[in-house]
Structure 1
Amino acid sequence: MGDVMNKFQRKLTAVAVGMMLSASVLAQTGPVDLDIAPQPLGQALNALARQSGAQIVFVSEVTVGKSAPAIKGKMTVREALDRLLEDSGLRIQASDERTFAVVPAGTAAAGESVLPVVNVSATTGDLPSAYAGGQVARGGNVGMLGNTNFMDTPFNQTSYTSKAIEDQQARSLSDLLIDDPSVRLSSARTNINEDFSIRGFTVASQDVALNGMYGLMPYFRVPVEMAERVEVLKGPSALLNGMPTSGNVGGAINVVPKRAHDEPLTRVTANYVSDSIGGGQVDIGRRFGERKEFGVRFNGAYRDGDTAIDKQQQEDQVYALALDYRGERLRTSLDLIYQKQDIDRVVRQFQVNSGLTAMPKVPDSDLNYPGYGRSETTDKTIVARAEYDVTDDVTIYGGVGNRRHSMDALAGNPELLDTAGNFNSAPAWQLFDVKDESYEAGANVRFNTGSIKHKLALNYSRVEQNQDIYMTFFAPRNSNLYAPIYSDTPSVAGLNPQKLPYIETTLTSYALADTLSFMDDKVKLTLGARHQNVEQQNYEFGTGVPGQPYDKSAVTPVVGVVVQPSDGLSLYANYIEGLSPGAIAPIGTTNAGTIFSPYKTKQYEVGTKLDWGRFATTVSVFQIERPSATTFNNVFSVNGEQRNRGVELNVFGEVAKHVRLIGGAAYTQGKLTRAAGGVNEGNDAVAVPRWQANLGIDWDNVFTPGLGLNARVVYTGDQYVDSANNLEIPSWTRFDVGARYQTRIGSKPVTFRANIENVFDKDYWASSNAGYLYVGAPRTFLLSATVDF
């Protein structure tokens, strides 16, 4: 028993290993209704956490081989724990009436409080626990700085949990990130690709990271069935994550894959999405070994049928296998991901004719534009990672991954011609292959110099990406927004496609950062820099003739500070840069072939974070300056700049018993501060609405045990479609509602969920930062039933 107690203390004080579960019901200081079957002790403790909403921390080793009796009825969490732990040789440590640790009986003197789990953070190892309400986590992965509590991070970051994914019945990132007021989808929901706007700048789906590594997630649309967390860091982050392949600077999105938990999981879900998409999902997890060192987690999902868009069909397949090993000092993992998506009559984004003088009225969102087309995309990923604790203060890690993406699409972008809604589109057949190799290595070192604590982080990253393409065009077709002409997709019979090299890119970087802690950790200062090298070889489209090679480098720094004058209050500031590949002057300009250095985007940000215990608020003020290159008087140069200034408010957690809130508001002013020849200088930037706001509320109906109700409102302000600010689309507001019911059928827990997105079937124009337009998704019904076996 002494060895067990020593291991427990060492693990808890190092990384707070264990399971902290927040159910959808707020833990109460008084009695709660409980119904827990006889089962292994670890499973019983998890069931108690789910049913009561209490936070219960324990190391799995101390419960191995122990059983718990059945308990049923109304009692306090403390009383329930006493019954479960009777004759187990374990006891309870309580930090408050909602937070408990289960420890060996001789671990510490009676009456000693448990370590303050609400402030757990670690550079490696277990994920930060869920915050009250379970929709977001207490922290997330801040790139090379590792997992960090949100109160200790000098950036604005939100980490969404698998609970949020499940309760919203999210099918991809766009369904989940609608919760964030600083994030908007910038492409149609059933388009080929799914891109985002963060703080007014585009973030492409191809740049979503997997465990901090770029070039590995599905290229055009990212699934969430295999995600344990989805972490969104706002603003450029070249130092933290390295440069993404397309050079996005609006923010970083990172997906953390699921791992097997200590307790067995077999979860089956049947689901339905309107118009008539049916499917299912399985989630199976097991751990093996004397100390449950080996883990296996499988997630699979299949959906097929007609969407809410007229005459559109969609088939989705997602399969993810996660293997992991966790030893005393060594941790390894292997992830295999397969995604295939087929869409018949895929919708496309609209371009605007230069002669258009006003925006046409938004059409019916149920209709299909352009009314023909198809897309087939397939992604295959394999990633291996390992980390090793050389000492208690030194951890080294590494990862290698491979992604293969292929697309076979025949579609056309419609071009709006007049206010009567007439448009034309030219079908194009495109075969597109992307091959990625991604590598990462680094170390985290903790040491002290006098009274100053250091967390030193070293990181190396490399992404090699090769793109091949084939494209051929067909005759354009005419149609109308209000009376669309549905036509057959052109036949490709008899064509002999040959994919040719398009772009080869290699991104290599080295980074060093140090977080210094002063004054008993009340002041934290992060300093660092990353040297990024960008190599690129372009090939002439249609011929494959190589152009002039590109080899440039740049150094991007970061300075971040967090001051915590009192518990629950953090003041922070940062200066950080983003990096985008430098442009090459195109053929036809007087300086054709000239290669420019990588663009540096600069962000200045200050903010405050308040953790009220069960509810948190953050306020951020930021300015982002991004250069741009255009042609003026037939000379191509870096001659423009867009500056986005804004204020963000984020809220999350339990605002009252049984009531959870998530959302906030963002005010962003996007300006063209420099432009070639002064043309459009001072105008508002394209697709940067001044106001965006979200508010989601989730309520456990205390009058009907097991029933939960939720609602969400999403507002996006008016925005310009062109740099001249002649074309503007109006603001829009969308309402969503939902319900869930948790019960038991026989001995099996069952959860029924029903959601309606865009409940009033609002028709609205939305826009992308590139000036494309798309029609918002129509009213969509989602139903599911989940059973745990």
Structure 2
Amino acid sequence: MANRHTFPPSVVCHNAQSERRIAALTLNATTIAVRTTLMTGLVLGSIGFTLPAAYAQSTASTSSTARSYNIQAGPLDRVLNSFAAVTGVEFSADASLLQGRSSRGLSGIFTVEQGFAELLRGHDLNASRQSNGSYTLVKPNEPRQSPSGEATLAPVKVTGTTLSPTDLPASFAGGQVARGAKLGVLGNVDVMDAPFNVTAYTAQTIADQQSATVGEVLRNDPSVRFTTSDGHNAENITIRGFEVNSSELAFNGMYGMLPGAHVPTEFIERVEVFKGPAAMLSGISPSGAVGGVVNLVTKRAPDQDLTRTTSSYTSASHLSQAVDIGRRFGSEKRLGVRFNGSLGYGETGLEDQKKRDNFFSLGVDYRGDRWKMEFDTYSAHQNQYNGSPLMIGFSKLGRVLDAPDPDKNALRGTFARQRTDGAMLRGELELTRQLSAYAAVGTANYNYDGFLNGTRVVVANASGDATGQTYNQGGYTRGTSAETGLRANLATGSIAHQLVASFSSHKTTTGIAPVTTSASYTTNIYDPLESPTIAGAHGTVARSADNHNTSVALADTLSLFEDTTLLTLGARSQHVRQKMASPKAYDETAVTPMLGLVVKPWGSDVSLYGNYIEGLSSGITVGVGYANQGDTLAPYKTRQKEIGVKWESGSYINTLSLFSILKPSAIDVGSGASKTLAQDGEQENQGIEWSIAGQLNRQVRVLGGVAYTVGEQVRASSAANDGKKAPGIPAWTANLGSEWDLPWVQGLSFNGRVTYTGEQYLDAANTLELPSWTRWDAGANYRFSAGGRPVVLRMAVENLTDTHYWSGRFGDGMATLGAPRTYKLSATVDF
């Protein structure tokens, strides 16, 4: 009898790894469970999760409800697998009917039956809906027997498919996250096969949440928090308590290629978040961030013609218009072109401030028989006029005051202009069935001018009186990145190997103008001065840094014990050069290893994993006030140990991680005129994370999780701070969002999200504490057809209760403000 496959609501990929114990953390599991349960109940309860069973079990409405899909082309069995996972339906098929067939994927708004019909077009196959709501693959006019005696298909659960390092992973059930993500030189890896905590947010999530920037997408992650105020010129974040600069995002796996300001989402297919140091996987980041990596994957043209426009409104009166056009050419549709463009202008939530945003991108790809090429180029302009959100210091007062109204504009007259132009070319060639080669090169040019960082005041008394200065600056950053490598698949006896060898290069040239500082002025954070003192023109931009990092990486993923164990071993040798370092040129080399392990002792639905991995940061340049001013310290390594478990239950996936990260820092040595800065202190962050994504039932989807993190200063810069908590790290953070499809109104769904951030310290001495805060967001989406064209209307209210709160900490102890209540409306039409 021919083999038969059943595609369940969730897709489970096999490959596996063997277990290694790494020291775990002892945390209060009862407290975690109580807080998680309370927050889950609040969110799901607020949108009607406790519906009558008749509605919760309704399957007819699901099959007839039109939804947006974006499923990549590939082998027919894999594409059908992805579609079944996203829709949450059972699907069975005779394996012989799928062999050797490929699919163009699916992009657009379809019901379940329309989606199956589109995917099977041209294959002389149909998906027949059964009485229990499942679907069966049949040939037209194929005799199918009834339960009384006719022949029926015997479903057998699929055990998975191997994910290609270069294939875009399919979406998981619910469509909010993907089944896998790019792990640097290892390429795309299925979540259940990855020995790390990784989440990939999809284009569907970006669109349904109306996320205009990458920073807004990251608000879904409980391990990510922001260090800049909402609406600021840049979106800096922390991952697992360690800072990640907005310029350190990766672009299709390479650093230094993205806009220096906000990164728009119009051309983004995936936002992938890797938690922990990743020097071995991705190389050293431009500023040496070690908390994690955020990688952005660009859109490609779907096989179906796409012409989509989106009109958006954001309060106070910011309007934008975006267009997304995709076409494939040729009889086999090998050449694809994807264009995205947007124009936005108007007032923001900050009183009297205006922003103008212009963006366009072009993505071209060609799919050859054994090779493919991809080219991306973009231009991003962001101009901000008459104001900026405040950052506020409390070091003089000695305590933190209540947060002011974030609508209030305390920096009228300031402006900021930023522009980035970038391009990247990537190619892959299959040399043999076991060996392939890849190469990529890219460049980006970022220019800025205005009041980007001088957005701070220091409070002097309990009434909120404060002193401030404004800072006018200008400069540029020019980056060039390249990488090349070989991938090989081979076997030694019963052990399969996935080998990769890679060489990478990243060069950065920076120019900075002398900053012009205004005279001090007095204002009030609750009643800001109408006209603060504005600094004059900055000086002439001159080159200030010339850095070049190169590296060689080797890695091997071994598949053992009939694919129940995966062991990944790797190391990267990194060469760090800073030609303009003072007082002498800086040239250092460091090796960063990695060990990863995944074991599946009870089948493919559960993965136990562990890792040891190191990060690498460029040496600190010593500032004023030290005898060794101008020196650049040696590169330093950050070390992570992590264990965890991932499990799939029905059509949702969970990840539970315990981690410990130890990062070196600098301390003062000596005193007076002989005081020097030396690399000798450390910060240790330990924590536990739980995340969830998927469908709880056919109407309800969830996305979010909870994190508990403790950061401790070890051998701190000041001996009095030894053992105290590291500033800017809230102990508890949680994000939990949910979507609910109304069973009785086709195409209408409601969504909600609650975000909680616990108390955190502003200063290393632990004398200034920001209070905890909770923010509620709510919205609705409505999909329908007008004149035969798919239409999606979206509405959202962020910070529903208009809470005034300190969102986090920036730099040297400045408190940052959360956004006010914000309204978002959009209309998307496919032509």
Q: Establish whether TM, by shorter chain, passes 0.5.
A: yes
Tell me the equivalent position of 1:8: none
Tell me the equivalent position of 2:458: 415
* 2:592 corresponds to which of 542, 551, 556: 556
* 1:732 corresponds to which of 773, 798, 803: 773
Contact 1:607 1:620 in 2 (8 A): yes
Residue 679 (structure 1) shift: 2.7
2:347 counterpart letter in structure 1: D
Contact 2:345 2:355 in 1 (8 A): yes
Tell me the equivalent position of 1:477: 521
User: Which 10-residue stretch deviates more, 244-253 or 453-462?
Assistant: 453-462
Residue 421 (structure 1) shift: 1.3
1:655–1:118 CA distance, 2 compared to 1 (3 A)? farther
**What is the distance in 1 between the residues matched to 2:383 and 2:312?**
18
Local SS of the residue matching 2:451: strand
1:590 counterpart letter in structure 2: A
Residue 516 (structure 1) shift: 0.5
**What is the distance in 1 between the residues matched to 2:86 and 2:709?**
41
Contact 1:359 1:728 in 2 (8 A): yes
Contact 1:94 1:113 in 2 (8 A): no
Contact 1:641 1:675 in 2 (8 A): yes
Tell me the equivalent position of 2:691: 650
1:344–1:81 CA distance, 2 compared to 1 (3 A)? closer
Q: Which runs of 5+ in 2 are unaligned?
A: 1-12, 15-54, 67-71, 74-78, 105-109, 143-150
1:89-488 correspondence to structure 2 within 5 Å: 89-90=124-125, 116=158, 119-124=161-166, 126-352=167-393, 354-410=395-451, 412=454, 413-470=456-513, 471-487=515-531
Tell me the equivalent position of 1:701: 742
Local SS of the residue matching 1:679: helix
Tell me the equivalent position of 2:546: 504
**What is the distance in 2 between the residues matched to 1:582 and 1:506?**
13
Say yes or no: does 1:692 pair with 2:736.
Answer: no
Tell me the equivalent position of 1:671: 712
Q: Give the aligned CA root-mean-square deviation in angstroms.
A: 3.4
2:458 counterpart letter in structure 1: E
Contact 1:188 1:775 in 2 (8 A): yes
| Residues 708-760 of structure 1: per-residue CA shift (max 9 Å, x gap) | 00000000001000000010010000000000111111100100000010010
Tell me the equivalent position of 1:516: 558
Local SS of the residue matching 1:239: helix
**What is the distance in 1 between the residues matched to 2:85 and 2:595?**
40
1:518–1:92 CA distance, 2 compared to 1 (3 A)? farther
1:184 counterpart letter in structure 2: R
Normalised TM-score (structure 2): 0.83
Residue 253 (structure 1) shift: 0.2
Tell me the equivalent position of 2:38: none
**What is the distance in 2 between the residues matched to 1:98 and 1:382?**
45
Quote the sequence identity (%): 38
Tell me the equivalent position of 1:785: 827
Of structures 1 and 2, the one scoring higher in RCO (CA 8 A, sep 6+) is 2
Tell me the equivalent position of 2:799: 758
Alignment size in residue pairs:
742
1:179 counterpart letter in structure 2: N
Local SS of the residue matching 1:362: coil
Contact 2:440 2:482 in 1 (8 A): yes
Local SS of the residue matching 2:696: strand
Residue 417 (structure 1) shift: 2.5
Contact 1:468 1:500 in 2 (8 A): yes
Local SS of the residue matching 1:391: coil
Normalised TM-score (structure 1): 0.88
Residue 568 (structure 1) shift: 0.3
1:313–1:405 CA distance, 2 compared to 1 (3 A)? same
Tell me the equivalent position of 1:534: 576
Tell me the equivalent position of 1:624: 661
**What is the distance in 2 between the residues matched to 1:457 and 1:196?**
31
1:28–1:503 CA distance, 2 compared to 1 (3 A)? farther
Residue 31 (structure 1) shift: 7.8
* 1:578 corresponds to which of 606, 609, 615: 615
1:164–1:98 CA distance, 2 compared to 1 (3 A)? farther
Residue 120 (structure 1) shift: 4.8
Local SS of the residue matching 1:766: strand
Tell me the equivalent position of 2:46: none
Residue 131 (structure 1) shift: 0.3
* 1:683 corresponds to which of 724, 730, 747: 724
Residue 59 (structure 1) shift: 10
* 1:775 corresponds to which of 790, 793, 817: 817
Contact 2:396 2:458 in 1 (8 A): no
1:277–1:443 CA distance, 2 compared to 1 (3 A)? same
Residue 414 (structure 1) shift: 1.8
Q: Which runs of 5+ in 1 are unaligned?
A: 1-13, 16-24, 37-41, 65-70, 540-545
**What is the distance in 1 between the residues matched to 2:522 and 2:533?**
14
Contact 1:185 1:195 in 2 (8 A): yes
Contact 1:101 1:114 in 2 (8 A): no
Local SS of the residue matching 2:556: strand
**What is the distance in 2 between the residues matched to 1:451 and 1:59?**
26
1:458 counterpart letter in structure 2: A
Residue 675 (structure 1) shift: 1.5
| Residues 593-636 of structure 1: per-residue CA shift (max 9 Å, x gap) | 54432110000000000011301111000000001113332121
Residue 707 (structure 1) shift: 0.4
